[in-house]
Amino acid sequence: MKHFVIGLFIRLALIFYGEFHDKTFQVPFTDVDYKVFTDAARNVLMGASPYSRHTYRYSPLIAYVLTPNIIVHQAFGKVLFSILDLVMAYLIYRLMLKRNVPIHKAQLSALSWLYNPLSIIISTRGNADTLSSLFVAATLLCLYARKPTFAGLMHGVCIHMRLYPIVYSLPFYLSLSSGSQFSTEKNNVCDSSQSNSKAPPENNEATEYRNGFYSILGNCKNVFIPNKCQIKLVFGCVFAILTLTAVFYWLYGYHFLYESMLFHLARKDVRHNFSVYFYLQYLSAGAVVSVWQRVLMFVPQLFLLVALSFRYGHLFDLPFCLLAQTIVIVMYNPVITSQYFIWFLSLLPACIPMLDLTLKQAVFHSVVWIVAQLAWLLPAYWLEFRGEDTFVYIWLQGIAFFCANMTLLARLIQAYNPIKLWKKTN
């Protein structure tokens, strides 16, 4: 509780500083999109469409939620995001407890979000990406609480807010499967609705976990024929997406559909960014993109996402599954900006207790990740602010950054060891 107050205090102090900074300095502290949100909120208040603000590419919900930006104070949204940050920390804590992580480790996970400089800066700059992370965490919590309909609804809202969580659908779906390699409990609530065993039998689970590979063939049927929970999940999700889409389509028409969905699907930005595909896209801009190029861009990502879903589609492994998948979609995305990193950083705290890493190793990997980013920033700075032709270096650093992330993902997979945790707790 004490930490929540301190966390809130730090964030409020930064918001105050941001107000001061924006008035004093040329380069603003506030996120570019925050102004977009505010303008869109102003449009909404005036009865216009939020999409009449150019580059507003989000759900109208964000504009609605931020209308107090106009009525109350401009910094309202930042305070709201900061409070949501605290809620996120609490959700991480609850999530850990649901997974029988010892209390002190659960607290550690929550604190690592609460005091994470990145999460602090991102929420106080007024970036709305915390919002989608919050919905992801809420979906996970619903799944752990055995409420597939709510999980589906949350997931649907989450996809509506941000498109990327759509790749989590497969692991979510699989995690509710009756097949023993995916479910946490012997008597799954989805198969027999009367059994509601509170304590998961960890030992059995551990052995089953090991035998997962052998039972996978035998359980093919269970994987592919949906059970009650899976139907509820899918129903909730589809219902939420369809309702939200229909309502906003009715309100704002095609403009909504294009800006909040189609744009993100077809997004192709030739300007320099962290993506490994940046120079390739820029050089082939204007030219006809061949089919094989599209396939090559799409297929590795698809393989990895599906493989990770099946490998970690176990209810217990879900946070790690989402983390790995998010690293994959971010790294294979044709456009990467630094705000995308919050997508996987928000999932990291929930996985920390299951990672078999020493502090030294963890620090080492973090440093490598940050150095790889800085190494990209250097030629990008020379291009953008010095006007030098450093495209090739940016491309090479993009590749280096990609490799650094892939290595990091590989290390995480190798270090992921939930069995160790069970052994400790037992």
Partner 1 sequence: MAVHCNLLKCLFECVVFYFQVRQVGTNRSFPWGFAILCLLPVLHNVVGSRSSFEEQSSSCGLHATIVRQVEREGFHRELGSLIELVAQNPLEWQNCTIALQETIPSGLYVNQDQLMDLERQGTLTACPETFVDVEASQWHSEAFTVLVYSALQTAHNLLYAHLRMPIHLRYHAPTESGGYAAVFVPPPKLMIRCSNEITCGRKDSYFSAPCDGCSGPQCSWLQLPFSTNTPKDGLRVMVPVGNKSLLSIVNAVTFLVTGGGCLYILSILVSTWR
State yes or no: residue 269 binds partner 1 (CB under 8 A): yes
Rounded CA-CA distance 36/123 in Å is 15
Question: Are the beta carbons of 237 and 169 closer than 8 angstroms?
Answer: yes
State yes or no: residue 389 binds partner 1 (CB under 8 A): yes
- By CB atoms closer than 10 A (0-12, 13-18, 19+), residue 392 is exposed
Question: Are the beta carbons of 168 and 136 closer than 8 angstroms?
Answer: yes
CB of 412 to partner 1, least distance (A): 10
Q: Can you tell me which of 66, 323, 328, 352 binds partner 1, judged by CB under 8 A?
A: 328
The residue assigned the tokens 């896209």 is: 281
Single out the segment in contact with partner 1 by CB under 8 A; choices: 81-89, 232-240, 370-378, 383-391: 383-391
For the chain, give the number of residues. Answer: 426
Residues 6+ apart with CB under 8 A from 207: none
Q: Can you tell me which of 105, 255, 311, 365 binds partner 1, judged by CB under 8 A?
A: 311
* Nearer Cβ to partner 1 (212/226): 212
Q: Which of 12, 4, 15, 158 is nearest to 89 (CA)?
A: 4
State yes or no: residue 414 binds partner 1 (CB under 8 A): yes
Both tokens of 187, joined, read: 């008597």
Rounded CA-CA distance 342/408 in Å is 16
Interaction residues for partner 1, span 391-410 (CB under 8 A): 391-392, 395, 399, 402-403, 406, 409-410
Tell me if residue 328 falls in helix, strand or coil. Answer: helix
State yes or no: residue 279 binds partner 1 (CB under 8 A): yes
Tell me if residue 197 falls in helix, strand or coil. Answer: coil
Q: Can you tell me which of 136, 304, 315, 351 binds partner 1, judged by CB under 8 A?
A: 304
Identify the bridge partners of residue 355 per DSSP, sorted by sequence position: 416
Tell me if residue 416 falls in helix, strand or coil. Answer: strand
State yes or no: residue 308 binds partner 1 (CB under 8 A): yes
Kindly write out the interface string for residues 158-197 of this chain, putting x where it contacts partner 1 by CB under 8 A and - elsewhere.
----------------------------------------
Interaction residues for partner 1, span 205-234 (CB under 8 A): 209-210, 212-213
Give the residues lining the site for partner 1 (CB under 8 A).
35, 39, 54-55, 209-210, 212-213, 269-271, 276-277, 279-280, 282-286, 293, 296-297, 300-301, 303-304, 307-308, 311, 328, 331-332, 383-392, 395, 399, 402-403, 406, 409-410, 413-414, 416
